A and B are shown apart, each in its own frame.
Chain A
Amino acid sequence: MSPAVHLAATGHGFLSPTGVEIAFLLVGIATFGAAIVTVTTKQLVHAALWLVVALGGLAVEYLLLTAEFIAWVQVLIYVGSVVVLLLFGLMLTKAPIGRSPDADSGNRPAALAVAVAAAGVLVWVVVDAFRTTWIELDKGVQGSTAVSGESLFRHWVLPFEALSVLLLAALVGAIVLSRKSGHDSGPGVGHESGPRAGHGKEMR
C-alpha cells in the first residue's frame, strides 16, 4: 500500500516535500504496517501489542497535525486503557498464548477482497477529490490544550455533559452484563450452562 501513497504523493508534482510531510509519511507507513500486523498476526496478545504501536503512531500523526491535546488523549485513553482492557478481555476468555492457527475464520479471502476493493475505491475517490488541497500548518497551532479546552467548554458543553451521562450508562451496562447475578447463578443456570460450556470446550 505504501507505494500507492508514494504515487499519490509524488504523482502530483510534490517534488519538495517538507520535513513535516516526510515525517508524517514515515510514521504513517509505520502505523499502517502495525495495523496490518494487528489484523493478521496469529498471536492474539501480539495483536494487542501491535495495536498499541498503531495507536501510538496515530498519536504522533495527531501531533504532526498540530492537534496536541487529541494526541495526548489518544495516548491516555487508547494506549492506556483500551488496550489494557482488551488484554484483560483476552485473558478472561482464556485466549491461547502463542500462535493459534485458527485466529482467522474461513471467510478470510472474501474479507480480503472486500477490504482491498474498498481501499481501492476509497483511495481513488479521496485522491481524486483532494489532489490540490493543502493544509496550512504554519498558521499557528490548531489543537493546543488551551484552544481545545476553550472551545470544548465554550461551545461543546452540552454534548460534553451528555457524553458523560453516556459514559455512566455504559459503565452501569458493563457491570450489569459482566456480573454473575444472583438468580442467574442458581442451580438451574448452572445446570443449563454447564453442559453447553463443556460442549464449547470440547469443540475447541
Chain B
Amino acid sequence: MTTTTAAVLVPLLPFLGAVAGLLLGRRAPGFVRPLAVLPTLAAAGLAVLVAVRQGGGAGGGTAPLTAVTRLADTGSVPVDLALQVDGFAALVAVLVAVVACCVQIYSTGYLRDDPRYPSYAALVSLFTAAMLLVVYSDDLIVLLVGWEIMGICSYFLVGHYWETAAARSASLKAFLVTKLGDVPFLIGIFALAGDTGTFRISEIHTRLTSGTAGAPLDHPTLIALLLLAGVAGKSAQFPLHTWLPDAMAGPTPVSALIHAATMVAAGVYVVARLLPVFASSAAALAVLAAMAAVTMVGSALAALAQDDIKRVLAYSTVGQLGYMTGALAVDDRGAAVFHLITHGAFKALLFLGAGVVIHAAGSNSLAAMSRMSGLARRIPDAFWTMTVALLALAAIPPFAGFFSKEAVLGAAEHAATGHTSGVPEGVGWTVLLAGLLTALLTAGYAARLWLLAFRGQGEPVPDHGKQPVAMNVVLWVLFLPTAALGLAYGTLPDWFDGESLTPTLTTSVLGTGLALGGALVMYGAWRHSSASARRVPLGAVAAHPEAADAVSEAEAIATHEAAYGSIAGASDPADPGRLLLGPLHRHAAVGFHLDAVYSALFVRPVRAAARLVHFLDREVVETYVRGAGGAPRLLGAAVRRAQTGNVQTYLGALLAGSLVLAVAAVLVAAGA
C-alpha cells in the first residue's frame, strides 16, 4: 500500500463506516459496534502509518505528500480533490483518529443502553471522517465540505438528548453560532482564491512564502479577518465562543471528541495551515492576539465560577484554544499545533473521565460532589488519570501541557522581545501577559475542580458498580500521551517548521510559579470555605444511579437547572471560586452576560423583525392575495346575481341594449 492510498483511506474508512452504520443500524444491531469501532481503529492505524512514513520523525522534514485529482474545472479557479500530508497534517490526523477511536470505544460502554446508539455511532464516525478530511485536504473548498459536515454532525450530536430543552436549544445555538462564522469564512475563502488564483493551500503557501517582493495579496487584512470569523466560530473564540459551554448538553463522549479534541481544533488548525495569510497582515495578527487574550482570561474566569463539571472543562477548552490562537498570533504555528495535540489528548481524557465521575456521583454538579466523600476510591482509574490530566492542564511539569504551554509562552516572549520578524511587539506582550495570567487562573480552576470533585466531605458515594472495562482502558490509553507527549519536544520541530519548542527558563519558571501559586491560593480558599459545605446541604442526584452512564448524565443535565436555578452556576457558599472571585462570580457564572448581550443585540431584534415580517405578511401581503382572490369572487357574485334564470329578464336586458344601440345608430346616422 502506498502512502497516498493509506492517506486516502484515512478519511474514507470512517465515512464508509458511518454510511454502513446509518444503513444497517436498525436492521442489524449486532454490526453497529464493530462498524463504529473498527473503521475508526483502522483509520487510526493508517494515520499512524502515514505519519511514520511521511513525517520527518527521522530528521529533517520530508517533502509533503501531495496528490491531486481535478474535481471541478470551474473555468476560473479550479476545485481539486487534493491531498497534502505534511508534518502538521500527519500528527493532527493521528490525534484525531486516536481520540475518535477512544471515544468510539468509550461510547460502547457509555451509551450501552441508548436506543439511539446506532445513529450516534454513525454520526461520530461521519464527524471523524469530516475532521480527517479537513486535516488532509489541500483544497479550501474540499476543506470547507468537511468543515460544514462537522458543523451539522455537531448539531445532531449535541442534540442527542433532544428530549431535554437544554440540549435542543444548545444544538441549535451551536449550529447557528458556528454558521454565523462560516459565512464570512466562505467569503474569505473566495476572496483569498480571488487574490491568489487558487484554492490549493500548498500553492497559496508557496506563493506567500517564496519571497517575491511585496505582499502578493491585495487585501490581506480583509481576507484574514473574514477567515478569522469562521475560525472564531469553529474554535469557540471570543466573541463566538458562547455555543461551546452550552454544547455540554450533549453526551460526554461527544464533548470529548467534538468540543475538546477535534472540531474546535479545526479552526486553529486551519489558521495554522493558512498562517502566511495572517502573517502578511499585522492588523490581523493584532486582532488575533486581542481575541486570544480576551478569550483566555475571560474563559478562565468563567471556568472558575461554573458548577457543572463539564462546563468547567468547556470553558477551559475555550481558554486553551485561546493559547493556540495566541501562539498563531505570534506567528509560531509549531507551538500552536503542539499545544493542540497535547490539549487534544488531555482534554479528551478529562472529558471522558468527567463522564465517569458524573455517573459515579449521579450528578454533574461540583457543589453536589463536594458533599460526597470517597469518590476517588470508587473510580480509581478515573481519579488517577484525571489527576494527571488536570496537572497537565495546569501546566505542571513534566506533563504534556507544561511543554506545549511553555512553547506558546516562549514564542510569545520571543515576539515580545522583538525577535520575531513581522509580528509587532505589542502582540507578543499581549499574548505573553494574558497567557501568564491565564496560567494562574487555569491552575486555580483545575485545582478547584479536583478539590471539589475528589476531596468532598460528607456522605460516602453510593456504589453504582464497576465502570465498563472499555471506558477505563480508554482512560489509560489517553493517559500515555497526557503524561509523556511533552517529552517529545525535541523531535517535534522536525515535523513542523523547525523552530525549537524547548521550554525557555524564564517562561518556565514564571508559568510554573504562577500555576503553583494559583493552585495554592485555591487550596487555601477551599480549606477556608469547605467548612461551610456541611452546613448548607445542596445537591440533586440522578434518579436512576444504576442505569447506564448516559442515562444518568441526561438526567443530571435535565435536573441541574431545576435544582440550582441556573444551567451554569450554583449558589453554593462552599465554592472556593465564589470566595476568590467575590462580586465577579455572579457575572463569571453566566459567561459575563455575553448571552444576554447577544439576546439584546441580535435575538430580540431578530424576533421583533420576524414579528414585523409576520405581521406584514399576514396583514399586507396576504391582503393583496386575498384581494386578488376576493375581487373576482365579488365580481362573480355580482354577475351571478344577474343569472336569475328568468328568461324575461334576459330578454329585457337584451332589448334594452339593442334599443340603446339603435338610438346610437340613429344618432350617428343623423350626424348628431
Chain A contact residues, CB within 8 Å of chain B: 105, 107, 110-111, 113-114, 117-118, 121, 125
Task: Describe A's contact surface by its main secondary structure.
Answer: helix
B652 touches A117 (CB 8 A): no
A110 touches B649 (CB 8 A): yes
From B648, B659, B663, B666, A107 is in contact (CB under 8 Å) with B648
A-B CB pair tally, cutoff 8 Å:
25
B659 touches A105 (CB 8 A): no
Instruction: Report the bound CA distance from A60 to B35 in whole Å.
Output: 116
Q: List which B627-668 residues lie within 8 A (CB) of chain A.
A: 646, 648-649, 652, 655-656, 659, 662-663, 666
A114 touches B655 (CB 8 A): yes
A118 touches B649 (CB 8 A): no
Q: From residue B614, how far is it (CB to closest CB) to chain A in Å?
A: 50
A110 touches B662 (CB 8 A): no
Given contacts A121-B659, A121-B662, contact A114 B648 (CB under 8 A): no
Q: From residue B224, how far is it (CB to closest CB) to chain A in Å?
A: 85
Contacts A114-B655, A117-B659, A121-B663 supplied; 8 other A-B pairs, CB < 8 Å: A105-B646, A105-B648, A110-B652, A110-B656, A111-B652, A114-B652, A114-B656, A121-B659
Determine the chain A residues whose CB is within 8 A of the CB of B666 once the complex forms: 121, 125
Determine the chain A residues whose CB is within 8 A of the CB of B646 once the complex forms: 105, 107
Determine the chain B residues whose CB is within 8 A of the CB of A105 once the complex forms: 646, 648
Q: List which B256-312 residues lie within 8 A (CB) of chain A.
A: none
Determine the chain B residues whose CB is within 8 A of the CB of A121 once the complex forms: 659, 662-663, 666
Instruction: Report the bound CA distance from A113 to B649 in whole Å.
Output: 13
Q: From residue A103, how far is it (CB to closest CB) to chain B in Å?
A: 13
Q: From residue B663, how far is it (CB to closest CB) to chain A in Å?
A: 6
Determine the chain B residues whose CB is within 8 A of the CB of A125 once the complex forms: 666
Instruction: Report the bound CA distance from A113 to B656 in whole Å.
Output: 9
Instruction: Report the bound CA distance from A110 to B649 in whole Å.
Output: 8
Instruction: Report the bound CA distance from A167 to B655 in whole Å.
Output: 29
Determine the chain A residues whose CB is within 8 A of the CB of B656 once the complex forms: 110, 113-114, 117
Determine the chain A residues whose CB is within 8 A of the CB of B663 once the complex forms: 121
Instruction: Report the bound CA distance from A111 to B646 in whole Å.
Output: 13
Instruction: Report the bound CA distance from A105 to B655 in whole Å.
Output: 17
B662 touches A107 (CB 8 A): no
A-B contacts, 25 listed (Cβ < 8 Å): A105-B646, A105-B648, A107-B646, A107-B648, A107-B649, A107-B652, A110-B649, A110-B652, A110-B656, A111-B648, A111-B652, A113-B656, A114-B652, A114-B655, A114-B656, A114-B659, A117-B656, A117-B659, A118-B655, A118-B659, A121-B659, A121-B662, A121-B663, A121-B666, A125-B666
User: Closest A-chain residue to B656, C-beta based?
Assistant: A114
What interface size band does chain B fall in?
A: 10 to 19
Instruction: Report the bound CA distance from A107 to B666 in whole Å.
Output: 28
Task: Describe B's contact surface by its main secondary structure.
Answer: helix
Q: From residue B9, how far is it (CB to closest CB) to chain A in Å?
A: 83
Q: From residue B668, how far is it (CB to closest CB) to chain A in Å?
A: 13
Q: From residue B656, how far is it (CB to closest CB) to chain A in Å?
A: 5
Determine the chain A residues whose CB is within 8 A of the CB of B659 once the complex forms: 114, 117-118, 121
Instruction: Report the bound CA distance from A110 to B646 in whole Å.
Output: 13
Instruction: Report the bound CA distance from A44 to B624 in whole Å.
Output: 56
User: Closest A-chain residue to B670, C-beta based?
Assistant: A128
Instruction: Report the bound CA distance from A172 to B10 in whole Å.
Output: 99
Q: From residue B585, how far is it (CB to closest CB) to chain A in Å?
A: 89
Q: From residue A128, how far is it (CB to closest CB) to chain B in Å?
A: 9
Determine the chain B residues whose CB is within 8 A of the CB of A114 once the complex forms: 652, 655-656, 659
Instruction: Report the bound CA distance from A121 to B656 in whole Å.
Output: 12
Q: Which 3 A-B pairs have the closest CB atoms?
A: A114-B656, A110-B652, A114-B655
Instruction: Report the bound CA distance from A118 to B655 in whole Å.
Output: 9
Determine the chain B residues whose CB is within 8 A of the CB of A118 once the complex forms: 655, 659
Instruction: Report the bound CA distance from A195 to B225 in whole Å.
Output: 88
Instruction: Report the bound CA distance from A122 to B123 in whole Å.
Output: 92
Q: From residue B659, how far is it (CB to closest CB) to chain A in Å?
A: 5
Q: From residue A39, how far is it (CB to closest CB) to chain B in Å?
A: 13
Determine the chain A residues whose CB is within 8 A of the CB of B649 once the complex forms: 107, 110
Q: From residue A108, how far is it (CB to closest CB) to chain B in Å?
A: 10
Determine the chain B residues whose CB is within 8 A of the CB of A107 once the complex forms: 646, 648-649, 652
Q: From residue B648, how far is it (CB to closest CB) to chain A in Å?
A: 6
Q: From residue B387, how far is it (CB to closest CB) to chain A in Å?
A: 98
Determine the chain B residues whose CB is within 8 A of the CB of A111 once the complex forms: 648, 652
Determine the chain A residues whose CB is within 8 A of the CB of B655 once the complex forms: 114, 118
Q: From residue B280, how far is it (CB to closest CB) to chain A in Å?
A: 91
Instruction: Report the bound CA distance from A143 to B270 in whole Å.
Output: 118
Q: From residue A59, how far is it (CB to closest CB) to chain B in Å?
A: 28
User: Closest A-chain residue to B654, C-beta based?
Assistant: A114
Determine the chain A residues whose CB is within 8 A of the CB of B648 once the complex forms: 105, 107, 111
Determine the chain A residues whose CB is within 8 A of the CB of B652 once the complex forms: 107, 110-111, 114
Instruction: Report the bound CA distance from A9 to B291 in whole Å.
Output: 112
Q: From residue B662, how far is it (CB to closest CB) to chain A in Å?
A: 7
Q: From residue B487, how far is it (CB to closest CB) to chain A in Å?
A: 106
Q: From residue B301, how far is it (CB to closest CB) to chain A in Å?
A: 90
> B414-427 interface mask toward A, CB cutoff 8 Å, 1 = contact, 0 = none?
00000000000000
Q: From residue B409, how far is it (CB to closest CB) to chain A in Å?
A: 103
Instruction: Report the bound CA distance from A114 to B656 in whole Å.
Output: 6
Q: From residue B657, how far is it (CB to closest CB) to chain A in Å?
A: 10
Q: From residue B658, how far is it (CB to closest CB) to chain A in Å?
A: 9
Instruction: Report the bound CA distance from A117 to B663 in whole Å.
Output: 10
Q: From residue A115, how far is it (CB to closest CB) to chain B in Å?
A: 9
Q: From residue A127, how far is it (CB to closest CB) to chain B in Å?
A: 13
Instruction: Report the bound CA distance from A125 to B666 in whole Å.
Output: 8
Instruction: Report the bound CA distance from A83 to B655 in whole Å.
Output: 27
Instruction: Report the bound CA distance from A125 to B663 in whole Å.
Output: 9
Instruction: Report the bound CA distance from A32 to B169 in whole Å.
Output: 93
Instruction: Report the bound CA distance from A113 to B648 in whole Å.
Output: 14
User: Closest B-chain residue to A111, C-beta based?
Assistant: B652
Instruction: Report the bound CA distance from A71 to B652 in whole Å.
Output: 32
User: Closest B-chain residue to A122, C-beta based?
Assistant: B662
Instruction: Report the bound CA distance from A125 to B656 in whole Å.
Output: 17
